[in-house]
Amino acid sequence: MASPPGHRRASAPRQAAAALLLALSCCCCFRGARPAPPRVPAVIVFGDSTVDTGNNNAIGTILKSNFAPYGRDMAGGPRPTGRFCNGRLPPDFISEALGLPPLVPAYLDPAYGIQDFARGVCFASAGTGLDNKTAGVLSVIPLWKEVEYFKEYQRRLRRHAGRARARRIVSDALYVVSIGTNDFLENYFLFVTGRFAEFTVAGFEDFLVAQAERFLAEIHRLGARRVTFAGLSPIGCLPLERTLNALRGGCVEEYNQVARDYNAKLLAMLRRLAASRPVLKVAYINVYQNMLDLITDPFTLGLENVEEGCCATGKVEMSYLCNDKSPLTCEDAGKYFFWDSFHPTEKVNQFFAKKTLDLCYEQLF
């Protein structure tokens, strides 16, 4: 076809260059501003049920989730792994995004060995807390024991990979820490451990922050260099707390205020700690704001229910009360913020993982 009058046909080299430029720009649109994943050899996890990938399966506690309908939406078909979710948890998504396996194995899971743990390992235990007394409520793994498992892991890793490579894995790994909710909702405000008589709320917040600082100092001494540490969510807005607050209705604002006060103290401590230890990088994950954004504007993630869990009535059920005998469990968990009365759905966990990764690229990598 002839060119219109006055039109100058581009030369073949110019056309090729334009096509290449267009292809590159499209590629950048899909990738966004984020660079290629950094070389992170492993994701190492400490904390509670928000990140426990199955350790409670192996201990004598009633707090378990290795049965249906937990895990019903796992890739490849229903698979209850001990994750308190219909699918994966934030560390799983973080691991996959960094080019590592899509599931971070639980350290106590006999199906995995040190060759798996060399690329990612979870020491977390559902129901635990920064306070050792919290773990005692439901007989789960206390945080100090998680650290002991970390030490044992390092000894096994040295035998498996050699001392030099093991040291690099430990120092270059990304550490994910999520803990603290149970210290208030399962311990202090439940009046079962005596902490409510020993501390004021503010004093208990200070005690927990001091425990968090000691924990971080210890894993830093053991080799951790890049750590994400999650603050508390609006704990008064969990479905279980909404249900217990039925007379007044809505979220328990007193609990949310406690979460905000604790988070402020935690953030100040993390900044102090990082300033005193130049080789330690710690990113504070603002779970409170991330969750509040979704609760106030759920349609940004296509959510329809942010007040109740998908499982059973969604008001009080979790662990054994969330089971496959209930006819009320929702069909599409993707429309819900919460899976059970305490824990987010896989869709929300993926959202939280993205927020964490964005912060990692800004502050840790």
Strands (DSSP E) along the chain, which ranges? 43-47, 120-122, 174-178, 226-230, 281-285, 305-309, 336-338
Q: Are 345 and 310 in contact (CB under 8 A)?
A: yes
Give start and end residues of each alpha helix (H) in 222-312: 239-244, 253-276, 287-296
Residue in 49, 95, 125, 319 annotated catalytic: 49
Residue in 183, 233, 340, 341 annotated catalytic: 340
Q: Are 169 and 118 in contact (CB under 8 A)?
A: yes
Q: Are 218 and 147 in contact (CB under 8 A)?
A: yes
Q: Are 103 and 111 in contact (CB under 8 A)?
A: no
Q: Which residues contact 62 (CB under 8 A, 6 or more apart)?
A: 138, 319, 320
Polymer length of the chain: 365
What distance in Å separates the CA atoms of residue 232 and residue 288, rounded to the nearest whole number?
6
What is Dmax (Cα atoms) for the chain?
90
DSSP structure string for 331-347: S-GGGEEESSSSSB-HH
Q: Which residues contact 222 (CB under 8 A, 6 or more apart)?
A: 147, 150, 151, 154, 170
Nearest to 109 by CA among 71, 44, 176, 58: 58
Is 343 known to be catalytic? Answer: yes
Tokens of 165: 């490579």
Is 206 known to be catalytic? Answer: no
Q: Which residues contact 251 (CB under 8 A, 6 or more apart)?
A: 234, 236, 237, 241, 242, 245
Q: Which residues contact 353 (CB under 8 A, 6 or more apart)?
A: 90, 91, 92, 93, 94, 97
At 46, phi and psi to the nearest 5? Answer: -130, 150
Catalytic positions: 49, 340, 343
